[in-house]
Amino acid sequence: MDITIKLITAAEQLFDGHGYMATGMDRLTEAAGISSRTLYKHAGSKSALMAAVLTERDRRFMRQIDVLSVDALFAALEDWIRIEGARGCLFLRARAETGGETPEIAEAVSAHKSAFRDRISDIVAADIGDADPDLSEQILVLFEGATHAAVYRDGAAIEAARAAASVLVEKTRS
Amino acid sequence: MDITIKLITAAEQLFDGHGYMATGMDRLTEAAGISSRTLYKHAGSKSALMAAVLTERDRRFMRQIDVLSVDALFAALEDWIRIEGARGCLFLRARAETGGETPEIAEAVSAHKSAFRDRISDIVAADIGDADPDLSEQILVLFEGATHAAVYRDGAAIEAARAAASVLVEKTRS
DNA sequence: AAGTATGTAAAACGAACGTTTTACATTGCA
DNA sequence: TGCAATGTAAAACGTTCGTTTTACATACTT
């Protein structure tokens, strides 16, 4: 299997489960089954590896929420969390752990959040037939809230977000 | 000024701004203006200091959201963020950075989230006149979402949450 | 006036950090 | 056949980590 994929997959899992800073390089090499020399040949540095993990996760996540209705968006989130688990947004966590002081990471985070926001606007537009910035912002807040409340409220948080979103969309549609 | 207060205040600021793991003990002693010997006399360990910071923050935060209506709740959040800034939930961040593997911290986090949830249930009950678990869960999700979306969406996230909450409360009231 | 707390400054602890280096094995292309 | 390229294993790099210790100063308490 391709080394870069193995490395990024292992790194994402460890960063997600134990935190970025709390995950040492030896734990990464062991989990990926590669030597530290090879790790640095491929990743360059720990910061670069973190940024690469975020870039790859952005691709996977954006594919997951490639839907055409608000309801499908929250169904997609439910699927995502059932498979990935709920430990908060890995992008916001990366920014928080680095204090936003690592440029390559800060950039990966804001690129993702920008794309995420655009995607939600598109979904809202497809659902109700027109662009609606206010409703889009509300859906974004509900999605972000479901993601983080799910850490300690599990499925109930996503169900609540989905129901609330349905009310807001119906109200706008009429 | 009392040393423990000085220490916890400085620690909260540093943990919030730069991350828990990324903040070293020497940075804490320097910011608090105390020796490392005194720090360990008072805090015991870094984990204990983190837990103490969370316990104290829980007190401040709960006082901040001591309100009687859902709208006042989001007004309180707006005030909080204007003063404290928006860097996500310090409790969820602590759990994430430690992977939930530090008992004293995990306990402080779940104690806070439990109290937080109870408070929201009380506010909803006071606002609409009766307990409403479903609406309470939706308000909790909106609050959590506003807290985290505000990191990159600033005031717009809180305004959106407030407006959405108003719609949901009005719908329930009628 | 003596003794007990409580503080500082600074060195030292071993362990772990991210990263680089040395030495060697394997592979694939000229 | 030989030379890059690419991998591993393992030691070593200097730094920083959380924590403890040593030595000393400054107060209260009785």
Category of B121 on φ-ψ map: left (φ > 0), alpha (ψ -120 to 50) or beta: alpha
> Does residue B138 register a pLDDT over 90?
yes
Collect all residues with Cβ–Cβ distance below 8 Å to B112 and sequence separation of at least 6. Answer: B54, B58, B61, B91
pLDDT at B174 over 90: no
- The whole-number pLDDT of residue B1 equals 78
Under an 8 A CB cutoff, do B21 and A21 touch? yes
CA distance A84 to chain B (A): 15
Residues B66, B72: contact at Cβ < 8 Å?
A: no
For residue A24, the model assigns a pLDDT of 98
Q: Do A148 and B148 touch (CB under 8 A)?
A: yes
Neighbours of A85 (CB within 10 A): 11
Q: How many CB pairs under 8 A join A and B?
A: 142
Share of chain B above pLDDT 90, in %: 99
- The pLDDT value recorded for residue B170 is 98
Contacting residues of B for A117, CB less than 8 Å apart: 153
pLDDT for B53: 98
Per-residue pLDDT of chain A in tens (174 residues, 90 and over written 9)? 799 999 999 999 999 999 999 999 999 999 999 999 999 999 999 999 999 999 999 999 999 999 999 999 999 999 999 999 999 999 999 999 999 999 999 999 999 999 999 999 999 999 999 999 999 999 999 999 999 999 999 999 999 999 999 999 999 998
Q: Do A157 and B167 touch (CB under 8 A)?
A: no
Q: Which domains does chain B have, with CATH numbers?
A: 1-44 (1.10.10.60), 58-173 (1.10.357.10)
Distance from CA of A118 to the nearest CA of B (A): 13
**pLDDT beyond 90 at B118:** yes
Arithmetic mean of pLDDT over chain B: 98
Q: How far is CA A8 from CA A12, A34, B116, in A?
A: 6, 12, 36
**Strand D nucleotides within 7 Å of a protein CB:** 6-11, 16-23
Q: pLDDT digits over B24-75, tens only? A: 999 999 999 999 999 999 999 999 999 999 999 999 999 999 999 999 999 9
The sign of the dihedral angle between the CA atoms of A117, A120, A121, A122 is positive
CA–CA min distance B120, chain A (Å): 13
Are A137 and B156 inside 8 Å of each other by CB?
Answer: yes
pLDDT score for B158? 98
